Each structure stands twice: as C-alpha cells, then as structure tokens.
Structure 1
Amino acid sequence: MTTEPQRLQYLEAMGLTAWTARYRLPNARPTEACDWSLPAPDEDAPRAPAERLHALLESPGEAAPASPASAPEARQRPPTGPGKARALLGDVVPGAEGTAAAGPAIPAQPEAATPRAESPQEPLRFSLQVACLDGRWLVILPREAAPGGVELRLLANLLRAAGVVPEKPPAFEAFHWPQVEGLPVQAPLEEAGEGLQAFLAGRRRRGWAPERLLVFGEAPALATLLALQGGHCPLLDLPAWQGPALTELAGSAAAKRALWPTLADWRRAWLGDD
C-alpha cells in the first residue's frame, strides 16, 4: 500500500503538482454542519462485556458489584487488575482455588505474536540526464550535470552517422532519486523503479512513447535498477544498449571505433527495418 508521502513523491516525479485546499473559495457554499442527538443510555439494560471492560478501564479503582444473596451459587468477587478485566469478558473468575464446582482451571491462551515492523532501509540514490529523440528513443546519461556543448555535438554526430536524425535536437532533463529526502524506505529497488516509471509516465503528455533505450555511461545504482540482460531492459520493457560515457567517447578514438558496428544496428532500428 502506497503511503501519502510516497504518493506525493511519485506525483512530483511525474511533474504533477499536488494541491491541498486550505481555505473556502469565495462565494462557495459552506459545508453544512449538524449535531447528532445521542440516545440516553438505559441504566437497566444489560451491558455488553466490551462496554463493561471500557467502563472498568476508565475507573480502575471501582470495585465490581457484589452478587445478590438470593443467587443459587454465589460467585467469588473478581480481583482487581488485569484478571478483573478478563473475568468481565469471559465470566471466568481467575485465581479461584479450592472450589470443586468451578471445574478444572482454564489455561490462559497464549497471546498472538506481534508482527515485527520492517526496519527502514537506505534508498537507492542516483542522478540521471534523460532525453527522448522524437519521443521514440530514450537516451539516459547517468550523471548529475547536464551534458556540455562538446558532448552534445558528439552525440549528434554519432546519431547522424547511424542515420538517426531526429527532427529536434535532444533536450535533456534531470531526474534524481529519491525525490524527497527523509521518507521511510522498505523496498529501495522497487520504489526507485516505480519512481523512474512515474517520471516517464508524466512525460507521455509531451509525446514520449519510448521504443528503445540508449545508456551512455555506467553507475552502480543504475545498473542494479535497469538490470540490462541480453540487450533488454526488464524495468522499462524496452530493447536496450549501454556503452561508454560521452566524455570517454570524446577522448578515445578506440572507443569510437568499437562503437562503429553498433551504428548500423541503430540505423535499421530507427528506420524500422529490424
């Protein structure tokens, strides 16, 4: 079950603002208020065990009423304390000894074990720069700072060499997790995955409908989250590729040559030939 702070965190990841009404709008009809008349309690009506228990807890010093002398079998007076409450609930007089008519003693039922609350864990922490090429290809850079001019030109040249020419240049947006610090975390990996999915779902209003994922660079937290296997991202259910960071590609001719065979695959995928 999603708690209210987590719900607000997912809404923030989606880019949605949560509004809470604090004042009544001008000229709005006020909320009608009414008083409910409670029926007068009947003193002569028998009281349920639960009501007797609450009355006992509210006045712990009050003694139980004595049994009338005309009763066929006089019961012992219940003791005070917890035994008194149990006696009222079950009509069992604990501590009665030496009475043959009372029958064998009823063993106390073991109390149910209270489930232990899971201890809070540390959230998965990562920062991303995210863009979507024409709303089709998701490009992720695991870094906090936006890419510079040199890296953007390198990315554009790589895409152009692969025949991937979007109508608009990629515009990167920052995404970091957690969105809100200090919230209790029970499932770090699951909550981070839901946060990234909420972020992408919020961008669908801008026409984002990712068909493929490109990741430039590595980060331990992101690798755990995406868990790429055989060119597929299970979290986003997309075909995926991951390679060197743009900064590494910019300074290494060998890294560029190693990427060259992959560009042909990108061309076929962009044109829909695969």
Structure 2
Amino acid sequence: MLFSFLAAPSFRDLTSRTTRSLLMESFWYMLGAIFHKGGSNLPVSVSARILVAAWWLFTIILASVYSANLIAVFAVPKTAKPFTSLKELLQNTDYKWGLIGGGSTEQFISTSTDPDIQAFWQNIVKFNETDSSVLTGDTYQHFEKVLKGRYAVLYGHERMSKEVACNVEYLGEKLTVYSKGLALPEGSPLKEDLDEIMLNLQENGILRMLDKKWLLNEWQCEGDARTNVTVTLTDIQSIFYVLFIGLGGALLSLILECLARRARMLLCSKTLNSKSNIEI
C-alpha cells in the first residue's frame, strides 16, 4: 500500500525515483518500522504519512507487548501441572475429583448433555461409591482433600478464607457458564416491582458491591506480583482497529489528493486555453 501511495500521480510529480527504487524503499521502510529503525526518507504526501503513522503506532504497541510477554516467560518460572484441561483430567487415572454437592452446580452437571461433562459426572458417581465426601456440601472438606494431593474439585463461586485461597492452584478453565435467577409464581403481582428493584440495584452498583463483599475472593497472596499473565490478541485488538482506521484515512486522503490534482490540471488547462485564445 505504501508503494501504491508513493507511486500515485499526486506524489509522482515530487520525485524522480524509479518504480524499483520506490518499491524497495517502501519494503525496507515498513520492515524497519517493526524493528524501530524506520527508513531513510519520510513520505511527502499526506496519505502516505497517515499510513506510515498508523503502521508505526501498530508496530510500537505490538513490539512492546511481545517484549513484555517474552520477559515474563523468562522472569516467572513455570511449574508443570498434572493436567491443564477437563479432557486431560478425565485421562488422568491418578486423580479423583468431586464438586460442591447439594446445589445448582450439582444439578446442572448431573443433567448436562456435554460428553465431557457427562464423563466427569459419571466418574464422580463412581468415586462416591467408596468416598461419599466427593459430593459433600462442605467446601472446606473438599479443599482439605485438594491440599492432601491427587484430588481436584469443581469450584463455583463460593467464598473461602485467605488461608485456603492462597494454598490451592486454579486450573483457570471454565467448565460452563450459567445464570441464576429469582423465580416467582406465574402471573405474580410482585414481578414488576421486583424487576424494577433489581434493575435499580444493578444500575446503582449495589449488586456488584454485595457480590464483592460476600462472594468474590480478592485476596492478595504472596507472590502474586510475579504471576505470569499472558497477553492475547483479544487483549490488544484495539491496536488493529487503530491500524484499520489509519488505512481508511490514508485511502480517503489519497482519493482527495488525486481529485485535487485532477482539479488543478483542469484549472491549468483552462487557463492555458484562455491565454491561447487571447493571444490569437
């Protein structure tokens, strides 16, 4: 695109370089931007400068994120996990697992049609024949088994103490996502009032405050500052938007430059024709 902009008629009049030299300069300039080296000459046309500015902004952010991830990989030691997904857990014969029984999570897992979740539940039923604690509703009993080793628990949104939260490791994979709601009898006159109250609580941030107070675990454990957090393309997708906006702006500017050049040529042509008529 940079070569096309440099070779456009609106810019051709400003340089005497050949097509080959323009192509090579465009290639090395854009490649050099990735390594923060740039090129020998800055484009003269406005459209090419907009394109170069968008590309520079894109490469600077992308290179910075890559460098940060690379440093994090070497700075934070990685510990090997016995399994990293539900499929690997199902294939691991050394581990047993359970879930917080007596609630909506157990009901949802036991009635799920997903093949992996079905296999997960069937194994829990088999474990329950010899160890009834795999379906106990006592959260701390589950985590005591986790701390003893070779046991995993499907954990929902229950709150736990800092001592437990900072001594266990979370897989990070969401088995599934489902919502909970308040149910009323069909045709209940309380529905409209309840909907309005819940909407006000949500808009005022009260529900979030209650959720943070009673459900969320926001403990600051030792060593959290050295946790390796990987930045994915989803986290930096905004820089792609900036790049595309820059490309669009550059194309629009190029069109305007071409139209302006054509208008100048027509104006010059009319001026020359009028002078010729006067001289005749």
TM range, normalised to the smaller chain?
under 0.3
Bigger RCO of structures 1 and 2 (CA < 8 A, at least 6 apart): 2
Q: TM-score, normalised by structure 2?
A: 0.20
Name the structure where helix makes up a greater proportion of residues. 2
Q: TM-score, normalised by structure 1?
A: 0.21
Decide which structure has the larger Cα Rg and report it: 1
Name the structure where strand makes up a greater proportion of residues. 1
